[in-house]
């Protein structure tokens, strides 16, 4: 028995000793960074009300949170950062199981659709006064975070990914065009222009107009006022012609070899950015970093508006799972974090593009220029795009359906017949929907 007691005593001492070593407290904020697998967590603040906050990516929210807990000492925030897919898988599992969800979670724009089928698992932000801030956000971003009926707000928007046309000035000049953003914007004002300019670039330089069918299709899809589903959840993609037009347009580009078969995120796609294999890329604001990594030379790529409008790719929402015991405090925090002042800081620090149009008029934002893109006020180009995005109903099966269309597009690049590919895609889509 005495051996047993000794063992306990030693273990106890060891724990106390280790804890003493770890507890370096510095003034009012105690920052304790621990790592659990690929998840890093950081405890910020010393308040009694602890809010667990799941985030992904590189948001720089820790700096903002320190500001918040300094003003609100009764709150402390446990910020846990993990991989984007892991976060959504974990959230799905914990909601499905009914335990383990955090107080606040970030949900990616593409993923929020499937969580909308579980309103019982989230707090309706309208109950906490979300209607007061509704007007601060862009309509389409707000509506994407809301139920089809419009009475349940799942999340407050953080950042967005408005799409524009990135283009290579050298290729446009080689083809004999004026390569200033204004001139290119006028030159490629419509999708017919896009096709025509593509032909001229191909004739005079032998280069592709754009990388792959996917981004052209996305651009045209995002400009459609009706997409795959109506708010009742019925598949309508074959009943109106906007999606079919987008599909046929890409098929036409493939037939004329104006668009490449260079899948996104492949080595040849990254390489093409530096080599100028393709003249344009229809991509969101956050693609700037990818381009800069692959083409070190300044002034080669520039930015202008996309033909006939804009679209959105990416961005996130902050939601409050119902499991929380501190919904009021959680809401107060996310409302603060998504307010225009904080969104401006997130933009300046980490390039998160704001979802609140008030930021677009702030002087710091207007003056934001980028030498890399020829010294133009890039933030303004993106903010124009952000305001041109259409509100459209997506529906919970949006992404599975979209994947099947992308598969059809992939087959088109190999020379398949558009009509039969469209039918085959519809067939696959119907089989997916039967399961729901």
DSSP lists the bridge partners of residue 362 as: none
Q: How far is the CB of 332 from other proteins (least distance, A)?
A: 27
Report the alpha-carbon distance of residue 304 to residue 186 in Å, rounded. 10
DSSP lists the bridge partners of residue 309 as: 306
Rounded to the nearest 5°, which phi and psi values hold at 121? Answer: -90, -5
Query: Residue numbers of the site for other proteins (CB under 8 A)?
Result: 89, 92, 95-96, 114-115, 117-118, 121, 261-263, 266-268, 400, 403-404, 406-407, 410-411, 414, 428, 431-432, 434-436
Q: 3-class DSSP state for residue 354?
A: strand
Taking the least distance from each CB to other proteins, the nearer of 89 and 419 is: 89
Taking the least distance from each CB to other proteins, the nearer of 164 and 401 is: 401
For every residue of 251-304, DSSP letters joined together read HHHHHTT-B----TTSHHHHHHHHHTSEEEEEEETTHHHHHHHH--STTSEEEE
Q: Is the CB of residue 320 less than 8 Å from the CB of residue 122?
A: yes
Q: Is the CB of residue 159 less than 8 Å from the CB of residue 277?
A: no
Q: How far is the CB of 72 from other proteins (least distance, A)?
A: 32
CB atoms within 10 A of CB 48: 8
Report the alpha-carbon distance of residue 46 to residue 75 in Å, rounded. 7
Taking the least distance from each CB to other proteins, the nearer of 208 and 306 is: 208
For residue 227, what are the contacts with CB-CB under 8 A and spacing of at least 6? Answer: 221, 237, 242, 243, 392, 393, 394, 398
For every residue of 128-186, DSSP letters joined together read GTGGGTGGGS-HHHHHHTB-TTS--B-EEEEEEEEEEEEEEHHHHHHTT---SHHHHHH
Q: What is the DSSP letter of 319?
A: E
Taking the least distance from each CB to other proteins, the nearer of 94 and 342 is: 94
For residue 180, what are the contacts with CB-CB under 8 A and spacing of at least 6? Answer: none
For residue 391, what are the contacts with CB-CB under 8 A and spacing of at least 6? Answer: 139, 140, 143, 144
Q: How far is the CB of 283 from other proteins (least distance, A)?
A: 19
């Amino acid at each position: 028995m005495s051996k047993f007691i000794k063992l306990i005593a030693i273990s106890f001492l060891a724990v106390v000793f280790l804890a003493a070593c770890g507890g370096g407290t510095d003034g009012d904020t105690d920052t304790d960074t621990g790592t659990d697998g690929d998840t890093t967590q950081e405890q910020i603040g010393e308040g009694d009300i602890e809010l667990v906050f799941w985030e992904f990516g590189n948001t720089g929210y820790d700096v903002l949170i320190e500001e918040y807990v300094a003003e609100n000492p009764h709150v402390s925030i446990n910020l846990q950062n993990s991989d984007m897919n892991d976060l959504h898988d974990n959230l799905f599992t914990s909601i499905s199981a009914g335990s383990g969800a955090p107080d606040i979670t970030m949900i990616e724009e593409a993923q929020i659709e499937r969580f909308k089928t579980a309103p019982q698992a989230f707090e309706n932000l309208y109950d906490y006064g979300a209607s007061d801030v509704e007007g601060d956000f862009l309509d389409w971003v707000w509506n994407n975070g809301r139920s089809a009926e419009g009475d349940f707000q799942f999340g407050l928007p953080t950042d967005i990914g408005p799409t524009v046309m990135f283009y290579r000035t050298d290729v446009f000049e080689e083809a004999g065009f004026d390569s200033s953003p204004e001139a290119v914007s006028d030159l490629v004002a419509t999708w017919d222009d896009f096709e025509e300019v593509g032909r001229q670039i191909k004739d005079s330089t032998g280069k592709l107009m754009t990388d792959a069918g996917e981004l052209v299709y996305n651009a045209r899809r995002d400009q459609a006022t009706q997409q795959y589903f109506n708010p009742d959840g019925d598949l309508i993609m074959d009943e109106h012609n906007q999606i079919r037009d987008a599909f046929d347009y890409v098929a036409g580009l493939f037939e004329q070899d104006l668009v490449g078969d260079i899948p996104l995120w492949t080595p040849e796609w990254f390489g093409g950015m530096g080599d100028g294999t393709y003249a344009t890329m229809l991509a969101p604001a956050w693609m700037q970093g990818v381009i800069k990594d692959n083409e070190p030379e300044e002034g080669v790529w520039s930015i202008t508006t996309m033909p006939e409008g804009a679209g959105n790719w990416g961005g996130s929402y902050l939601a409050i799972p119902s499991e929380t015991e501190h919904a009021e405090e959680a809401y107060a925090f996310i409302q603060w974090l998504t307010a225009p002042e904080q969104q401006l800081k997130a933009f300046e620090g980490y390039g998160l593009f704001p979802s609140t149009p008030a930021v677009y008029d702030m002087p710091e934002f207007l003056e934001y220029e980028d030498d890399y893109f020829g010294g133009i006020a890039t933030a303004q180009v993106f903010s124009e795009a952000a305001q041109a995005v259409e509100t459209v109903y997506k529906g919970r099966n949006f992404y599975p359906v979209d994947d099947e269309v992308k598969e059809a597009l992939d087959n088109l690049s190999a020379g398949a017949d558009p009509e039969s590919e469209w039918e085959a895609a519809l067939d696959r889509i119907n089989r997916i929907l039967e399961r729901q």
